[in-house]
Amino acid sequence: MEIKEIKANHLLSGDVMLTVVVRKAHNKAVEKILADIGTKCQEWVLTIEKTKKKRSLNANSYFHVLANKIAEAMNIGEDEAKVNLVLEYGAIMVDDQGKNVGFKLPVGVNVNSIYKYAKWFDKRTENGTDFDCFILYEHTHKLDSKQMARLVDGAVYECQELGIETQTPEEIERMKSLWKKEE
């Protein structure tokens, strides 16, 4: 059996939490280990989480190249172009229960001083105070491959609308297939 990673954390209670990441190909071996642990321990907790597919660094690099080209064509800063793309094509932030994350601020508070990937969606009044409501989008480094592909596709579309040359659709599809292989 090949163990990909082991982490041990000492908890305040004195207990030790052991995290083991095992490659998918070794399911039978994991089942045997779990059976052995079950017979030797009186109490244990097992947490299994599906790993999130990370996006390729090549995808992130290509996204930044496109954002830079858009910034030049529109005569805006690269960060502004990147924020605009994330708010249009990025992934909405979700909490542990899968619910969208957002917040409200009193009207006049600069949302960008708090979080740069926030999109205004509503104005509400509560107890005589006006609030702007925002939905939050994930930072690009937290996107999985599917979310990153959507973001790159959006950046390609924007480039094409501005007459900016991009890789051909075939080259982009080849790049996407390589992202999946890297995972």
Q: Are residues 78 and 130 in the same domain?
A: yes
> Is 140 within the bounds of a domain?
yes
Count of structural domains, the chain:
2
User: How many CB atoms within 10 Å of residue 143?
Assistant: 25
The residues facing 20 across adjacent strands are 6
Domain carrying residue 117: 57-182
Q: What is the mean pLDDT of residues 75-97?
A: 96
**What are 129-171's pLDDT values in tens digits?**
999 999 999 999 888 888 988 999 999 999 999 999 998 888 8
> Is 161 within the bounds of a domain?
yes
> Is 46 within the bounds of a domain?
no
Q: Are residues 65 and 27 in the same domain?
A: no
> Is 51 within the bounds of a domain?
no
Q: Are residues 171 and 99 in the same domain?
A: yes
> What pTM value is reported for the model?
0.66
Asked if residue 24 lies in contact with residue 2, where contact means CB atoms within 8 angstroms, the answer is no
Of 73, 143, 92, 83, the closest CA to residue 111 belongs to: 83
- pLDDT over 90 at 48, yes or no: no
- pLDDT over 80 at 86, yes or no: yes
> Is 15 within the bounds of a domain?
yes
In the structure encoding, which two tokens stand for residue 93, read together? 């932030």
> Is 32 within the bounds of a domain?
yes
